[in-house]
Amino acid sequence: MLQLINRVCSMPTNLVFIKVLLVTTIWSIPLSCVSQENIIQLISNTPIVKKEGNNFLKSKLCGHNNMRLYTSETVIGKTKEFYYYNTLNGQIDLLKIHLNKKNKGFFYDRILSMGLLNNQLLLLTNNHILLYRITDKNELFLIQAEKNNDNYSVCKNLGDNFFLYVNYKFHPLDAKNQHIWAIYDLTTHKINKQQVMPSIDIDYTFFVNSWVDTYKNNVVYAHSSDYKIYFYNHSFVKIDSIVPINSNLVKTQESNNQQLNSRDGITLFRKFDDSLNTRIRKVFYVNDTSILVLIKLKNSDSLQLDLWIKNNNVWELKKNNKYTVWFNKNEEYTSNNIKTLTDFYQNINDIYLNNQGEFEIWYYPFFENIICKSFDSDLHYFSVQNKTILNHETKIGIKHFRVNCY
């Protein structure tokens, strides 16, 4: 590797070429040289507000500056609640929704994702793109409504606008394009830029994934079966990349379109994927110069978390951790144990990166500090959980995680 670096440094070529080669040599360094120090640290787990009833909820979270907006809808029924939370003073209010002809079917839609910028809230539902204004009286007034014809499923903040995208293997009769990025302009209240992206690793979109994230004005996009990570600006122009020459990713199972057109075929493909493939499940921005890459390992309940940091315009793998998806049989559980990455691995709760560089996860029901015997057949954990719910002692909780970059 030293010979390669010396050869590159002596070549009369441009800086961009040097940068790419330097990045791709990182995985030639033995992983023993990469720090195994813990990357994720749970720093707090606190209740926010009591939630009446005992229904499990489908929830979404978004935020901007010191404000958070958390919505929940019951699994059975059409109840939707919006909690507006000020992190500076701890005040939390329920928002009142004003309905009109343009959004009268709102309570029959399923909320897929949300975005919050200043006092404007964008809701992506299975049928609509809805833009609301939040008033000083904690009311939601509709500004603009349009059909979600391109099936956008995720909304994120991108500079002063919203970034929308969809990446899913639709049936050919359901949608023309499978992977689309778009900018929703808050000045014009409409989509003013749209770009069809390559449908790479599209077969894995039936499963839990999050290959796209945003930070300030940039977008990061990870392939799944190849260790390739690309960075784009707000115009969707590629500006940087991480492409190691060696990685531990393994792709041994290919699908076919006929197989994935049936539920049984998808179930079978999932089993092959779980047992044979090692691939990227998620990517997270931490800041301008740091990202996390979450990898599922083949034939295992373990996960790998990589921390990449950019120094002197070169991305370097700084830390590498192994975690379990869930606790082992007969293992004691406490809510402060961070040996698992369940909160990051699943899509049960949205993850929000705040201005302090901490990840926030809102969840329901909140558990202050459960200690249970195990996760074996006696289901002690779930009996403790259900007892709390049946006693109506349910609250919405929030966890704060710190990323130890250095």
Stated as kind and residue range, the H or E segment containing 84 is strand 80-86
Quickly tell me which residue has 């809701």 as its tokens. 123
Position 289 scores a pLDDT of 96
Position 232 scores a pLDDT of 98
Residues in the chain: 406
The domain locations on the chain are 34-403
* 10-residue averages of pLDDT along the chain (406 residues): 32 35 39 73 86 65 94 66 91 86 78 95 94 93 94 97 94 86 97 95 88 97 96 98 86 61 79 86 96 90 92 94 71 56 76 92 75 54 66 79 88
Q: Write out pLDDT tens, residues 223-239.
A: 999 999 999 999 999 99
pTM listed for this prediction: 0.85
Q: 365 preceded by cis ω (within 30°)?
A: yes
Instruction: Give the rounded distance of the alpha carbon of 41 from its chain centre.
Output: 18
Rg of the chain over Cα atoms, rounded to whole angstroms, equals: 22
Q: Write out pLDDT tens, residues 129-149.
A: 999 999 999 999 999 999 999
Give phi and psi for 45, each to the nearest 5: -150, 100
Nearest Cα residue to 185 out of 135, 106, 122, 127: 122
Buried b (16+ CB within 10 A) or exposed e, 51-78: beeebebebbbbbbeebbbbbbbeeeee
**Residue 270, SS3 per DSSP:** helix
Domain 34-403 has CATH 2.120.10.30: yes
- Distance between first and last Cα of the chain: 26
Position 266 scores a pLDDT of 80
Stated as kind and residue range, the H or E segment containing 214 is strand 212-215
